[in-house]
Amino acid sequence: MENWKFALKSIMAHKMRSLLTMLGIIIGVAAVVIIVAMGTGVAKSIEKSLAGDQNNVQVYFTAFSSSGTAFGPFGTASTEEPILEEEPELTDSTLKGLLEIDGVSNYYSSISNIAEVRSGNKKAENVTITGVSQNFFAVKEYEILAGRQFTANDYSRFSRMIMLDTALAEKLFGSIENSLNQTISVNSNAYLVIGVYKDPKAGTAIYGMNSGGNAVMTNTQLAAETGMKENSQIFVHVEDVTRATEVGKAAADYLTKATGLKEARYEIYDMSAMLEEFKSQMSGVTLFIGAVAGISLLVGGIGVMNIMLVSVTERTREIGLRKALGATRGNILIQFLIEAMVLTTLGGAIGLAIAQTIVFLLNVSKALGERIAAEISIPVVLGSLAFSAVVGIVFGVLPANKASKLDPIEALRYE
């Protein structure tokens, strides 16, 4: 207990020097905690987005060249070899056959395109336009906030109707209500706004990757306008998420056989595997960035060691007097180790307080997104304080050892 009093007394006797010594520790702890908190918030947001789609398994067509280069739904790989088979046209009767597969409760098909959307003098660039089949809203958890969905007539007549997400509606018209029955331009083509929907993923990290907004129209109209196939992307809704991969593969095999493909085939995106891969990659990225920020902790530790060496020199007579009065080498060693540990732990606590304040401000201001909250966990709090204490002990060993080895007679003679 006496050593702790000595440590606090020494720190308070040189307030400015102690604060400057702790600065590296303060910055290091604050940086690491903030980075980890932001990484945790973004990771949880994306995990929530991906987990929400685990019941919807994407089935896509893939063709292979003779060299084995894959052609997937998000583009083609560069190759000089010809594609062996073209993507087949999927008829309604073929798609309805998906419902006969054990575990499939529903399905929808879609195609997508990027467009510029205008309304008067307002515009939104890089808007994702998705052409959807009629059962899209029966599968997706979208809430219709205003207006109506597409009807069978909208599909058969290739109607120029469109539905906007809340963000795009507010961007172009100021409010959801004002957007209904308005005409907008999509890549210079006029469309009537018939509804506004809310995506449950809105505000999450993965949703925020598309800053332009989102809109949906019938897949028949988008296919007619762009020349794409109406049913390029198929999503089967699986009743039991634990069977998602199994049922998805059954759906892919069914479409491959039903369309008579020989070399090419249909495959699936395994959302569960993607989620696990994402978790692994996100942990690695956060760890790496945190380690880089943690370098400042080591720099701070070196600063502590330097100041403690200076302190040993300044307090040589005090050390000699304590030894003359019976203090052992171990007593002196422990005293200086405790001083170093108190210094770094106090710096860690201040850094943690600063980090919590910044994280609070980030969350209040929604700087990371509407539904992304930076999060400081208990293990991070305890870990940062423990690491600060360890830094103090490690970098305090040399000064403490030097102090403990001082000869009491020589120390008392020191001026």
| Both structure tokens of 60 | 């896509």
User: What is the model's pLDDT at position 63?
Assistant: 73
N- to C-terminal Cα separation, the chain: 30
Instruction: Look at residue 159 in the predicted model and tell me its pLDDT.
Output: 92
Print pLDDT tens along the chain (415 aa).
Answer: 666 776 677 777 777 877 888 888 898 889 888 988 888 888 777 777 666 677 888 888 887 544 444 444 444 444 445 455 688 888 888 999 999 999 999 999 999 999 999 998 999 988 999 999 999 998 887 889 999 999 999 999 999 999 999 989 999 999 999 999 999 999 889 999 999 998 776 655 555 555 678 999 999 999 999 988 888 889 999 988 888 889 999 999 999 999 988 878 888 886 767 777 777 887 787 778 777 777 777 888 888 888 888 777 777 777 777 777 777 777 778 888 888 888 889 999 999 999 999 999 988 887 776 667 888 888 888 988 888 888 888 888 888 787 777 766 665 665 5
HSE-up of 128 (CA within 13 Å, CB side)?
A: 14
Token couple for 209: 């990757």
DSSP character string of 189-222: EEEEEEEEEE-TTTTSTTGGG--S-EEEEEHHHH
DSSP string, 137-191: HHHS--EEEEE----HHHHHTT--EEEEEHHHHHHHHSSHHHHTT-EEEETTEEE
Tokens for 255, please give them.
Answer: 């479409």
- 137/335 Cα distance (integer angstroms): 69
Q: What is the pLDDT of residue 278?
A: 75
Where are the strands (E) in 97-141, listed by range? Answer: 104-119, 122-132
**Residue 185 token pair:** 């331009």
pLDDT at residue 205, rounded to an integer: 53
Phi, psi (degrees; rounded to nearest 5) at 147: 80, -150
pLDDT score, position 73? 47
Could you read off the pLDDT of 37-47 as tens digits, one per residue?
Answer: 888 888 777 77
Overall size of the chain counted in residues = 415
Which pLDDT does position 268 carry in this prediction?
87
**3-class SS of residue 323:** helix
Give the pLDDT score at 302. Answer: 85
Burial label for 354, CB within 10 Å (0-12, 13-18, 19+), is middle
Cα angle vertex 313, ends 415, 403, to 5°? Answer: 120
The one-character DSSP state at 88 is P
Pairing of strands 122-132, 214-218: parallel
Q: What's the pLDDT at 3?
A: 63
Hey, CA dihedral for 407, 410, 413, 414, is it positive or negative?
negative
- Report the pLDDT value the prediction gives residue 178, as an integer from 0 to 100: 93
Residue 67 has a pLDDT of 45
Is residue 348 classed as helix, strand or coil in its secondary structure?
Answer: helix
SS3 315: coil
Q: What is the pLDDT of residue 257?
A: 92
**The pLDDT of residue 209:** 52
